[in-house]
Amino acid sequence: MTIPLDSAAKLLGLLASGELTARQATQASLDRIAATDPEVGAFTFVNTEAALAAADSIDQRRRDGQPLGALAGVPIAVKDVLCTTDMPTTCSSRMLEKHMSPYDATVVARLRAADAVIVGKTNMDEFAMGASTETSAFGKTTNPWNPSLTPGGSSGGAAACVAAGDVPLSLGSDTGGSIRQPAAFCGITGLKPTYGRVSRYGLIAFASSLDQVGPMAFDAVDCATLLNAIAGVDASDSTSLPVETPDFTAGLDRIEGELRIGIVKHHLEAEGLDPEVRQAVDDAIEVFRDAGAKIVEVELPHSDYWVPTYYVIAPSEASSNLSRYDGAHYGHRSPVAASEAGDRGPLVATYCRSRGEAFGAEVKRRIMIGMYALSAGYGDKYYVKALQVRRLIRQDFDSAFQNVDLLLGPVTPTPPFAMGEKIDDPLQMYLCDLFTVGANLAGIPALSMPGGLTSNNLPIGIQLQAPPLQEAKLLQAAAAFQRATDWHTKRPL
């Protein structure tokens, strides 16, 4: 029997019927990782023994008739920015190369409670700073569709392991598009929930007011199943929203009432938007129109300020969050003797050497930008001004959603780009976030789904955005699109 590692729904059906055991599913996943990862490089750690032990426990409890969780026996991978007690948590950085967390992130604990089998941790841009998974200290991740191309970032490993058929589900994190952009590049579905819908406890912080954990899978149904397992209020996270969590899998076979979809024409005329990406968006508009949706042009007047606003706020928060990695408390330490320290003294010299050795170039760049934006005399000029513009951006979305239910547009300006193409040009790399950072600044949910293939057989993603806490509407629309198209069924050759 061919084990369907590209579909959690199919796996759950086979597991429930007894046609498949959790150990068989887990072993198939581990075998697939062993076959694909030497080229793809999606994983920083594979937890073979613990995964098989968890699978055996699930099988035994199933035989004994004991209750099981909603994801019982399904292999899953988690981004290496989420704390785990049984695997290193490194953020793909030398700074945390040997770090073992004393606790599980809330989302990891909820996966374990749902009886998912966590097979490993996935590669990422160092401390989630990047858009190509090329800044990892432990090697690059390649795109399963073409190994000369990037899988996107920073959740490139989390996207690539799904696209490669290693696991049907993975968890990523999204600070400015880091779930949606790699999902688009790898031809899968990825959802950034509303800020506060999913707990950030145990998510190592990049930019605390922007970070959010979300599901990645080939289709909207599997994303909804995974979101069910991880969403909900958490007393350990003060930013977790105390709201009722719906069943996100309910109603995926239909859309209630007429769907109004907004199109931001300005985005479709943006400089640098690839013609094939534009065509895929136009085709998606027609799919929704044919399904009975009403298409409405809307404006987001401050969208030109999304990227500059983001690249003030995110580095500012990062410079603060990463100040804890000083070589004294935990992480990489490179001590300096008093005789070597000079006028700085051994403590400051140890700070400098430890951080200089352990942080990569992109992390250093963002720390420096953030420290400058927060420095005396410049905080009001840059950081406070960026916060004021952020409020205007949220107001733009609020106004648009008075007239439409969802917004539809591109995820990225281009299809997947070549390894090394942008790594030495930070500005071009930052512009990869052109269409995604707005949702993080506004705190709204947004989803990327496969919407086409280029003439070179590379995936193109389509983005849907919704008002706060309307993930169910997003998933219903995505499921409707996927019933009408087959782009989500395409796999790397």
pLDDT tens-digit readout, 130-139: 999 999 999 9
pLDDT of amino acid 493: 78
Active site residue 154: yes
Handedness of CA 229, 488, 490, 448 (dihedral sign): negative
Instruction: Name residue 156's amino acid.
Output: G
Q: What is the mean pLDDT of residues 337-360?
A: 87
Q: What is the mean pLDDT of residues 435-459?
A: 98
Considering 92, 93, 154, 155, which one is annotated as catalytic? 154
In tens, the pLDDT along 47-69 reads 999 999 999 999 999 999 999 99
Q: Is the pLDDT of residue 243 over 80?
A: yes
pLDDT of amino acid 336: 84
> Under a CB-based contact definition with an 8 Å cutoff, are residues 357 and 331 in contact?
no
Handedness of CA 33, 38, 42, 44 (dihedral sign): positive
Q: Is the pLDDT of residue 480 over 80?
A: yes
Beta strand pairing call for 117-122 and 446-453:
unpaired
Angle, helices 220-230 vs 8-17, to 10°: value is: 70
pLDDT of amino acid 346: 86
pLDDT of amino acid 3: 97
pLDDT of amino acid 328: 85
Instruction: Work out the pLDDT band at 339, boundaries 50, 70, 90.
Output: confident
> Percent of the chain at pLDDT above 70?
100
Of 322, 307, 398, 401, residue with least CA distance to 358: 322
197 φ, ψ (degrees, to nearest 5): -70, -35
Q: Is the pLDDT of residue 358 over 90?
A: yes
Q: Is the pLDDT of residue 456 over 90?
A: yes
pLDDT of amino acid 341: 78
152 φ, ψ (degrees, to nearest 5): 85, 180
Instruction: Work out the pLDDT band at 226, boundaries 50, 70, 90.
Output: very high
Instruction: Work out the pLDDT band at 157, boundaries 50, 70, 90.
Output: very high
Q: Is the pLDDT of residue 338 over 80?
A: no
pLDDT of amino acid 404: 98
Handedness of CA 459, 190, 27, 150 (dihedral sign): positive
In tens, the pLDDT along 167-215 reads 999 999 999 999 999 999 999 999 999 999 999 999 999 999 999 999 9
pLDDT of amino acid 337: 78
Cα separation, 418 vs 146, whole angstroms: 9
Considering 178, 199, 316, 319, which one is annotated as catalytic? 178
Cα separation, 397 vs 407, whole angstroms: 9
Q: What is the mean pLDDT of residues 417-444?
A: 95
In tens, the pLDDT along 66-112 reads 999 999 999 999 999 999 999 999 999 999 998 999 999 999 999 99
In tens, the pLDDT along 379-406 reads 999 999 999 999 999 999 999 999 999 9
DSSP 3-state of 77:
strand
> Under a CB-based contact definition with an 8 Å cutoff, are residues 142 and 42 in contact?
no
Cα separation, 483 vs 256, whole angstroms: 16
Q: What is the mean pLDDT of residues 276-303?
A: 97
pLDDT of amino acid 340: 82
Cα separation, 202 vs 45, whole angstroms: 18
Handedness of CA 276, 278, 282, 287 (dihedral sign): positive
Active site residue 79: yes
Active site residue 354: no
Q: What is the mean pLDDT of residues 148-152?
A: 98
Q: What is the mean pLDDT of residues 360-365?
A: 97
Considering 7, 29, 79, 354, which one is annotated as catalytic? 79
Domain 1-492, CATH 3.90.1300.10 — does that match?
yes
Average pLDDT, the chain: 96
